[in-house]
Chain A
C-alpha cells in the first residue's frame, strides 16, 4: 500500500491557482525530490502530505486515510517536516536540546511531560546529526548549517515514518550544504525513512534521490526514476534555460 498519495489535487489561494490536478504516489522507502522553478508550487505541494496546505479539490491521503483538518493532527505525529533555515533571535531562551526535544511533543500529546524516553530520543537524534557537544548551547547562537542540523534532529526525535524536507540547504554555504545532504543520506539509510525533498539543488537530486517529480506552473510535468530525469531537454524545458549534464567519476552535475 502507498504510504502517501495525492489524487488530482488542486489548490488555489484566492483567484490564483497554485496547484492544478496533481497526482503522485509515495511508497514506503522511496526518496523523492521535487524540483521546479520559483513559484511552481513546490512548498505548497509538500504541505499537502501533512495538511499544512488544504486541498481545494481532489484529495491527499496518508496510509490510506484522507488528510483533512480533523485527521491531520494524527498524521503529523508520524510525518516530520523540516523547513528552510530561518533566522533565530540570538537571545532566544531555548537550548539546542530543548529545541530538539520539542520534536517529540506532538506524539507525546497534551498534559504529559517529556520523560526519559523522549529525552533519550532527543539525545540520540543530536548524536545522529553530530551535535551532541552543542546540546546546552542557546539555539540562537548556532550557525545556519548547525541550525539546519538541529531542525533535522528535531524531525528525527519525532521518530517519523515520512520525512518532508523543504529546501533544507537553502541559504547555506557549500560546506554546510554538503554536510546537510550527507547527513540526510545517512539518516535515510539508517532509519529507513521515506523522504520527500523539495530542492533547487539539482546536484543533490542526482546524488540522493531515487525518484524525481518536476513541477512547473502548478502542474506536475514529469515524475519518474532519477536516471530518466537526468535529461537535458527535460530539465531545460522545466527551467526555461539550456542545460548540460557533466559526468565526473560516476557523479552527475547539471550545468546551466
Chain B
C-alpha cells in the first residue's frame, strides 16, 4: 500500500476513484428504489456518447458529456411520466441510438484515438486537479440535494402518487435527480469510463438494499460500497496490471454477492407474494 500511495498521480487517482465511487453509489439509491434503471442507463450512456462526439468535434469531452447527459435527463423525465407510454421500448431505442452515436464518433476520430478509448474504459491514472475539483463539486451538490430533500425523497420512495397527492413536488424532485445524474456521470466519465459507470451506479445501491431497512443508512452504505470498490479496484489494477474501471466494477459486484449471501432479507418472499 505504501508503494501504491507514494506516487502523486496514484494518490490523485485514488481520491478521484473514492469520490466518484461514493457519488455514483449514492446516486444509485434513486435508480434502484425509483426503479429507473433504464432511464439511468440511457442518461449515463448519453453522457458517454456526448463526450465522444464532443471530442470528435474538437470540444472538451466534459462539455459534450455534460450537454448530452443533461439533455438526456431533460428528455427522459417527461417521457417517463407520459401515461400509457412504453418507457422500456423508448429507452431501448434511445440506448441503441446513443451507443451508435458513440461508436460513430469513435470511428471518425482521427489519429490514435487514445483519449476516445480512455472514455470507454476510464482512465483514473490521467486524472488532473481540475477533474478532482469538478468531482468534488458534483459530490457536494449531490450531498446537499440528498440532505435538503431527504423527506421528499423518502415520501416519493414510499408511494409517489400519495406523495404527489399530499403536496410534495414529485416531478421537480425527480427531474432534479435526473439532472444530477447527468452531471455526476459527465464528471466521473473520464475516471470510470462510459461503459462501466452505470454498473458502479446500480451495484453498490443494490448491495446496500440487501442489508438495511433504513433509507439514511442505505445512502451511507451505498456510497461507502462505491468508494471501497473504487479503492480496492484501483489497488488491484496497480498490482496486477488490470484495467482500473473493470477491476472497480467487478469488485463492486463481489460486494453485492457478499451482501446477498449475508442479507437478512434473503428469505423475503418476492413482491406481491
B86 at the interface (CB under 8 A from A): no
Give the CA-CA distance A50 to B171 in the complex, in Å: 16
- Residue B79 interfacial (CB < 8 Å): no
Interface residues of A in 50-103 (CB under 8 A from B): 50, 52, 73-74, 76-77, 79-83, 86-95, 98-99, 102-103
Chain B residues, CB < 8 A from A50? 165
How far apart are the CA atoms of A164 and B167 in the complex, in Å? 14
Selected interface stretch from A19-27, A106-114, A234-242: A106-114
Whether A154 sits at the interface, judged by CB under 8 Å, is: yes
Contact yes or no, B159 A110, CB < 8 A: no
Asked if A212 is at the interface of the complex by the 8 Å CB criterion, the answer is no
Residues of B within 8 A of A248 (CB): none
Q: For chain A, residues 131 to 163, give those with C-beta under 8 angstroms from any C-beta of chain B.
A: 138-140, 151, 154, 158
- A93 touching B167 by the CB < 8 A rule? no
Query: Known contacts A76-B167, A91-B268; is A105 also within 8 Å of B213 by CB?
Result: no
Interface residue from B163, B166, B268 paired with A77 (Cβ < 8 Å): B166
In chain B, positions 64-100 with a C-beta closer than 8 Å to chain A are: 83-84
User: Contacts A94-B157, A98-B158: A106 and B168 contacting too (C-beta < 8 A)?
Assistant: yes
Interface string of B244-273 (1 = CB under 8 A from A): 000000000000000000000100111110
Instruction: Give residues of chain B (152-202) contacting chain A, Cβ–Cβ below 8 Å.
Output: 152, 154-155, 157-159, 161-169
User: Is residue B215 within 8 Å, beta carbon to beta carbon, of the partner chain?
Assistant: yes
Give A160 to B149 CA distance when docked, in angstroms.
23
Flag A204-247 by CB within 8 Å of B: 1 or 0 each: 00000000000000000000000000000000000000000000
B123 at interface (Cβ–Cβ under 8 A)? Answer: no
B148 within 8 Å of A (CB atoms): yes
Cβ B155 vs Cβ A105 within 8 A: yes
User: With A and B bound together, what is the CA distance between A113 and B154 in angstroms?
Assistant: 12
Residue of B83, B149, B169, B212 near A73 (CB, 8 A) is B169
- Chain B residue numbers with a CB within 8 Å of A105 are 151-152, 155, 163, 166-168
Verify A102–B268 contact, CB threshold 8 A: no
13 interchain pairs, CB-CB under 8 A: A80-B165, A82-B162, A92-B158, A93-B212, A93-B213, A93-B217, A99-B158, A102-B154, A102-B158, A107-B166, A110-B148, A114-B151, A138-B213
Residues of B within 8 A of A (CB): 33, 83-84, 148-149, 151-152, 154-155, 157-159, 161-169, 209-210, 212-215, 217-218, 265, 268-272
Interface on A for B, CB 8 Å cutoff?
Answer: 13, 50, 52, 73-74, 76-77, 79-83, 86-95, 98-99, 102-103, 105-108, 110-111, 113-114, 138-140, 151, 154, 158, 164
Q: A77-B166, A92-B158 are in contact. List 17 more A-B contacts (CB 8 A).
A: A76-B164, A76-B166, A79-B165, A81-B162, A83-B162, A86-B159, A93-B157, A93-B213, A99-B158, A102-B151, A102-B158, A105-B163, A106-B163, A107-B166, A107-B167, A110-B152, A151-B162
